């Protein structure tokens, strides 16, 4: 794994052969700024005026107890849920959040807590679908097959294979996604998300259900992604993984952000400890 990521990292020097499209030159600038995001489900206020800032090139962790609103916030960012209030500035522009394919086109890609691959399509086809947002292709183009169309299709296929190699499952390219092992499905989901050339990759509990070895390999993969200039938003239950991997961490509790800082500070924050462990009996 390490070798693959390193190899991809080495290749990122030449623009033509880069597997990822992160922009290392802009590292440190603000990529995503959420302002006062609110979301209510019936009587439950799932998010209360959450604001946060994600900088380019960092791994930004989002943690919190169960039901704190982590996945809800994720779904708002990716256009799956309409938000009730607030706004999201992404790469300097106000992000229209009304439809998932618009968000995908803006440059946010995600994976799911419960893997959602297209099970009846091959691994390669899954990645090719992920590429859809960056290509022009209509019914008529697909039928008429102009030279340009064919060349584009070849390029997409080639890039899909590159990405499968990058995440380390090139040998499973022709297997149906539902026949892959759990860990490989997670990798495939990441490859599919990368296919859309995201500026921000949002990973929803990628280590869920993984054993220690798989988690370590995943960690290497995520670090490789950062090394290649990608910005990552990580939701994770595995606090050790988050605190070890992330540059900055935000903590949600009951729909409110109670802390946002580097892991060392967050770990020591009394409000965070209280949220996780309760107040005790004074």
Binding site for another protein (CB under 8 A): 78-80, 99-101, 103-105, 109-110, 112, 116, 118-121, 125, 128-130, 132-135, 137-139, 141-143, 153, 156, 192, 196
102 versus 265: smaller Cβ distance to another protein: 102
Per-residue tokens: 263? 């892991």
Taking the complex as a whole, the smallest distance from the CB of residue 21 to another protein amounts, in Å, to: 15
Q: Where does residue 227 rank: exposed (0-12), middle (13-18), buried (19+ CB within 10 A)?
A: middle
Cβ at position 282, least distance to another protein in Å: 46
CA–CA distance, 230 with 206 (Å, rounded to integer): 16
Q: How far is CA 51 from the centre of its chain?
A: 19
Classify burial at 128, counting beta carbons within 10 Å of its beta carbon; exposed 0-12, middle 13-18, buried 19 or more. Answer: buried
* Residue with Cβ nearer another protein (193 or 250): 193
With respect to another protein, which residue has the nearer C-beta, 139 or 277?
Answer: 139
Kindly state the smallest distance separating residue 129's Cβ from another protein, in Å: 5
The torsion angles phi and psi of 258, rounded to 5 degrees, stand at: -105, -15
> C-beta of 132: minimal distance to another protein in Å?
5
Taking the complex as a whole, the smallest distance from the CB of residue 240 to another protein amounts, in Å, to 29
Report in angstroms how near the CB of residue 251 gets to another protein at its nearest. Answer: 26
The first and second tokens of residue 202, run together, are: 């949002």
Nearer to another protein, 202 or 221 (CB): 202
Distance CA 247, CA 88 (A): 21
Q: Are 63 and 253 in contact (CB under 8 A)?
A: no
| Inter-CA distances, 69 with 131, 191, 210, 216, 250, Å | 29, 26, 23, 27, 12
Closer by beta carbon to another protein, 7 or else 135: 135
Judged by beta carbon, residue 189 or residue 238, the one nearer another protein is: 189
């Amino acid at each position: 794994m390490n070798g693959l990521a390193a190899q991809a990292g080495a290749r990122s020097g030449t623009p033509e052969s880069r597997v990822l499209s992160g922009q290392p030159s802009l590292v440190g600038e603000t990529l995503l700024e959420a302002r006062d995001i609110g979301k209510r489900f019936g009587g439950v206020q799932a998010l209360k005026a959450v604001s946060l800032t994600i900088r380019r090139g960092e791994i930004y962790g989002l943690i919190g107890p169960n039901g704190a609103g982590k996945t809800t916030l994720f779904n708002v960012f990716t256009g799956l849920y309409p938000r009730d209030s607030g706004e999201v500035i992404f790469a300097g522009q106000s992000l229209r959040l009304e439809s998932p394919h618009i968000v995908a086109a803006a440059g946010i890609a995600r994976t799911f807590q419960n893997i959602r691959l297209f099970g009846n399509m091959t691994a390669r086809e899954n990645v090719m679908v992920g590429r859809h947002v960056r290509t022009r292709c209509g019914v008529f183009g697909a039928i008429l097959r102009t030279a340009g169309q064919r060349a584009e299709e070849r390029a997409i296929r080639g890039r899909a294979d590159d990405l499968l190699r990058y995440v380390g499952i090139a040998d499973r390219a022709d297997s149906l996604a539902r026949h892959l092992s759990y860990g490989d499905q997670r990798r495939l989901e990441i490859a599919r998300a990368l296919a859309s050339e995201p500026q921000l990759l949002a990973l929803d509990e990628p280590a869920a259900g993984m054993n220690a070895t798989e988690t370590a390999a995943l960690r290497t993969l995520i670090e490789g992604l950062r090394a290649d200039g990608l910005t990552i938003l990580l939701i994770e239950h595995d606090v050790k993984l988050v605190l070890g991997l992330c540059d900055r961490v935000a903590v949600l509790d009951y729909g409110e952000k109670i802390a946002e800082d580097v892991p060392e500070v967050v770990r020591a924050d009394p409000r965070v400890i209280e949220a996780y462990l309760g107040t005790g009996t004074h």
